[in-house]
């Protein structure tokens, strides 16, 4: 303790940081599991950020104009839980810290969005938090452009470790943030030179400062245990018109007498002796989970400060023009505008009567012309495939580093960064993100799709070129196993519409399911309109439905998705001609169909005896619909490079093949 601190009757910076250290090492010890090193090392950085810069109000965790704090190094979850407890978030009482990592507690192993107020995103997969933060910082700029800086004016702070910066996704995120010059993004790098295997020099020699600088960032380096230096660096970063990286040199496990500075503190309890030694070294004589009143009071005072700032802000919102205010509040709540479905219904009716032959990606673009007019908070984008994905409408203006008023983002060739940024936009609130690439490249963004699903955020993935039907680009670009693998993911809706009408319906469903991300798998090649009779009802809402009933007592049911519905319809005509009453079921969404009651499902699927699935993809996952002895016409290998028509013939996905498969089962 310094003399100045000793003379200060109130809690000092060191006391406050040590409270984080003690809670973290004790909670990990009690759980006999967890990561004490990072919170102990980064406690000073976090204390400076929370006490001197972060704008937040624990009594209103969802305050739209709060600063965002993202703990990208999610294994250091006890740092965040300690801060939430100390600053006074409801639901994070001391018992929660004692129940660290236990079933049903708010203190999951890694921070999980929705488990406790104040957790801005789910982190743990390294690099994701950093990349989410880019989306948050982008959303902030876009909303500031729409509503003005009196209403939207906040920073996004990230605490990231060596691991986050080593992950590939960090390149995409850092590059995108630099390109857009997201000046409200400040990354605090817990630069401790240690990862699980040992010193970082075992595996990396990047000059991180030069790397960020090369992407157009402001960079600085500080002693991560010097509060004044950290404070000054953050102040400078806030004033800079570029995103900022502050490399904070820290000692992992700071305070642990024999293990500090070593990977031994990374991911295991310190042990009773080491903890006793740390208490001595830190000057923290208090028992586990006990924070002296004056130290807790100091932290609570920090937490209480935001209330007045928020009240001021609420006054400014209240003073807004009525229409603007209600639009701000509606979009912040994630509610869709009144009447958005009417425009879509009109579109459906027009398409049913015109019955165009259209690729569903083109159909999707037409739907977006209608939807983005009705739902202005939708933010489109593509990972450099705008023309192919049909994600941009005639109304769209792209955001640039100088003007964020547009509604379209050129994410560049950064699928993973795009998906993670879209998670960040959705988490930020106020905007609904959708973005495109080829379906085959869901593999390039799958970790972020998984987090959309785990967090239950409405992110809409427009994934075009959804089968061998894309043709000449060949097997590298032809998804075969992707639908199956995406359908395996919990809380993800995978839509594969068959025509323009289903495309409109699936878009509507993706928007309505506000706790679930959606994939729209769309064709490159043209498909006919099959739904030529207008229904006001959204038939895709039940996942699958009878598109064409058998003319007599049903003997066979063909179940198809997307572009293969046309093939099933042609096969049905042949089978009916041969005296075999056959129904065609369109199954645009397996997940929604699975949610229907059994009687509906059985009625749609018909007798088990003869069901034949038709999808230009692998069979995995289909047996739930067609049963293990059902027929299937699809793919069991990678595709090939040739015109689409030739490929369908070559791989035997034809009406004749469906007829033969059906007859073989009769």
Ligand X SMILES: Cc1ncc(C[n+]2csc(CCOP(=O)(O)OP(=O)(O)O)c2C)c(N)n1
Closest approach of ligand X to the CB of residue 499, in Å: 39
Number of residues lying near ligand X (CB under 6 A): 19
Determine the 3-state secondary structure of 82 from DSSP: helix
Query: Which of these ranges, 120-128, 311-319, 419-427, 657-665, lies near ligand X under the rule CB under 6 A?
Result: 120-128
Supply the DSSP symbol for 404. -
Two tokens at 221?
A: 């380096």
Closest of 477, 414, 511 to residue 179, by C-alpha: 414
Closest approach of ligand X to the CB of residue 35, in Å: 6
What residues are paired with 198 via a beta bridge? 195
Q: Which does 82 bind (CB under 5 to 8 A by kind): ligand X, Mg ion, none?
A: none
Residue from 39, 127, 161, 631 that binds Mg ion (CB under 5 A)? 161
Residue owning tokens 């995406």: 486
Query: Which of these ranges, 80-88, 157-165, 174-182, 422-430, lies near Mg ion under the rule CB under 5 A?
Result: 157-165
Residue from 80, 126, 492, 618 that binds ligand X (CB under 6 A)? 126
482 binds ligand X (CB under 6 A): no
Q: Which does 483 bind (CB under 5 to 8 A by kind): Mg ion, ligand X, none?
A: none
Q: Which does 125 bind (CB under 5 to 8 A by kind): ligand X, Mg ion, none?
A: ligand X
x/- letters, 234..263, toward ligand X (CB under 6 A): ------------------x-----------
Cα–Cα distances in angstroms (integers) from residue 373 to residues 262, 337, 366, 460, 500, in the given order:
56, 11, 11, 17, 18
CB count within 10 Å of CB 515 equals 11
d(CA 6, CA 250): 24
Q: Which residues are the active-site residues?
A: 415
Closest of 105, 123, 124, 122 to residue 114, by C-alpha: 122
Q: Which is nearer to Mg ion, 109 or 267 (CB)?
A: 267
Closest of 469, 20, 486, 509 to residue 250, by C-alpha: 20
> Of all residues in this chain, which one has the CB nearest to Mg ion in the complex?
162
Q: Which does 126 bind (CB under 5 to 8 A by kind): ligand X, Mg ion, none?
A: ligand X
x/- letters, 182..211, toward Mg ion (CB under 5 A): ----------x-x-----------------
Residue owning tokens 């708010």: 106
Residue from 196, 333, 488, 666 that binds ligand X (CB under 6 A)? 196
477 binds ligand X (CB under 6 A): no
Backbone dihedral angles phi then psi of residue 172, each to the nearest 5 degrees: -65, -45
Cα–Cα distances in angstroms (integers) from residue 573 to residues 202, 342, 361, 576, in the given order:
66, 34, 27, 5
Number of residues lying near Mg ion (CB under 5 A): 4
159 binds ligand X (CB under 6 A): no
Two tokens at 127?
A: 């690099």
d(CA 487, CA 492): 7
Residue from 161, 424, 471, 543 that binds ligand X (CB under 6 A)? 161
Residue from 44, 120, 162, 502 that binds Mg ion (CB under 5 A)? 162
d(CA 454, CA 654): 38
Closest approach of Mg ion to the CB of residue 161, in Å: 4
Determine the 3-state secondary structure of 462 from DSSP: strand
Binding stretches for Mg ion (CB under 5 A)? 161-162, 192, 194
Binding stretches for ligand X (CB under 6 A)? 37-38, 73, 75, 124-126, 161-164, 167, 190, 192, 194-196, 252, 266
């Amino acid at each position: 303790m310094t003399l100045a601190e000793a003379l200060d009757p109130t809690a000092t910076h060191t006391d406050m940081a040590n409270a984080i250290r003690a809670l973290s090492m004790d909670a990990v010890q009690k759980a006999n599991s967890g990561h004490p090193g990072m919170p102990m090392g980064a406690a000073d950085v976090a204390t400076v950020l929370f006490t001197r810069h972060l704008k937040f109000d624990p009594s209103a965790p969802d305050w739209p104009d709060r600063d965002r704090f993202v703990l990208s190094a999610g294994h250091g979850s006890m740092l965040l839980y300690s801060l939430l407890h100390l600053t006074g978030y409801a639901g994070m009482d001391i018992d929660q810290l004692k129940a660290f990592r236990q079933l049903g507690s708010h203190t999951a192993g890694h921070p999980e969005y929705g488990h406790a107020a104040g957790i801005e995103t789910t982190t743990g997969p390294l690099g994701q938090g950093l990349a989410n933060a880019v989306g948050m910082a982008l959303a902030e700029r876009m909303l500031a452009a729409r509503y003005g800086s009196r209403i939207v004016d906040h920073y996004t702070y990230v605490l990231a470790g060596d691991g986050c910066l080593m992950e590939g996704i960090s390149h995409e995120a850092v590059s995108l943030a630099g390109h857009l010059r997201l000046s409200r993004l400040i990354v605090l790098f817990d630069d401790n030179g240690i990862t699980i295997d040992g010193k970082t020099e075992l595996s990396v020699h990047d000059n991180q400062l030069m790397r960020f600088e090369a992407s157009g960032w402001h960079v600085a380096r500080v002693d991560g245990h010097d509060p004044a230096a950290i404070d000054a660096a953050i102040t400078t970063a806030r004033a800079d018109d570029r995103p900022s990286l502050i490399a904070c040199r820290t000692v992992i496990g700071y305070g642990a007498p024999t293990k500090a500075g070593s990977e031994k503190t990374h991911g295991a309890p310190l042990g009773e002796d080491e903890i006793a030694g740390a208490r001595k070294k830190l000057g923290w004589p208090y028992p586990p989970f006990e924070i002296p009143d004056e130290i807790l009071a100091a932290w609570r005072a920090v937490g209480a400060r935001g209330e007045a700032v928020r009240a001021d802000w609420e006054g400014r919102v209240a003073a807004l023009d009525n229409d603007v205010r209600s639009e701000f509040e509606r979009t912040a709540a994630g509610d869709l505008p009144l009447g958005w479905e009417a425009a879509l219904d009109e579109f459906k009716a027009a398409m049913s009567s015109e019955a165009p032959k259209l690729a569903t990606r083109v159909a999707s673009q037409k739907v977006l012309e209608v939807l983005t007019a009705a739902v202005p908070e939708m933010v489109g984008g593509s990972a450099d495939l705008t023309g192919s994905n049909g994600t941009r409408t005639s109304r769209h203006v792209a955001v640039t580093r100088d003007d964020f008023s547009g509604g379209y983002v050129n994410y560049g060739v950064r699928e993973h960064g795009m998906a993670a940024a879209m998670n960040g936009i959705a988490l930020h609130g106020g905007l609904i993100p959708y973005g495109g690439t080829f379906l085959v490249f869901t593999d390039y963004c799958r970790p972020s799709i998984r987090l959309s699903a785990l967090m239950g955020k409405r992110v809409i993935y427009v994934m075009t070129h959804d089968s061998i039907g894309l043709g000449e680009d060949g097997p590298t670009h032809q998804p075969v196993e992707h639908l199956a693998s995406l359908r395996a993911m919990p809380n993800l809706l995978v839509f594969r519409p068959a025509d323009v009408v289903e495309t409109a319906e699936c878009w509507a469903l993706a928007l309505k399911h506000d706790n679930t991300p959606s994939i729209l798998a769309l064709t490159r090649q043209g498909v006919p309109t099959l739904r030529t009779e207008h229904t006001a009802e959204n038939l895709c809402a039940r996942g699958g439905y009878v598109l064409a009933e058998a003319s007599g007592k049903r003997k066979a049911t063909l179940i198809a998705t997307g572009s293969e519905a046309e093939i099933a319809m042609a096969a049905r005509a042949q089978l009916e001609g041969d005296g075999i009453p056959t129904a065609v079921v369109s199954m645009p969404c397996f997940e929604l169909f699975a949610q229907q009651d059994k009687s509906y499902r059985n009625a749609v699927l018909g007798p088990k005896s003869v069901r034949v699935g038709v999808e230009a993809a692998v069979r995995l996952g289909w047996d739930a619909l067609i049963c293990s002895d059902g027929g299937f016409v699809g793919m069991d290998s990678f595709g090939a490079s040739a015109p689409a028509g030739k490929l369908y013939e070559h791989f035997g996905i034809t009406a004749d093949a469906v007829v033969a498969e059906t007859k073989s089962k009769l």
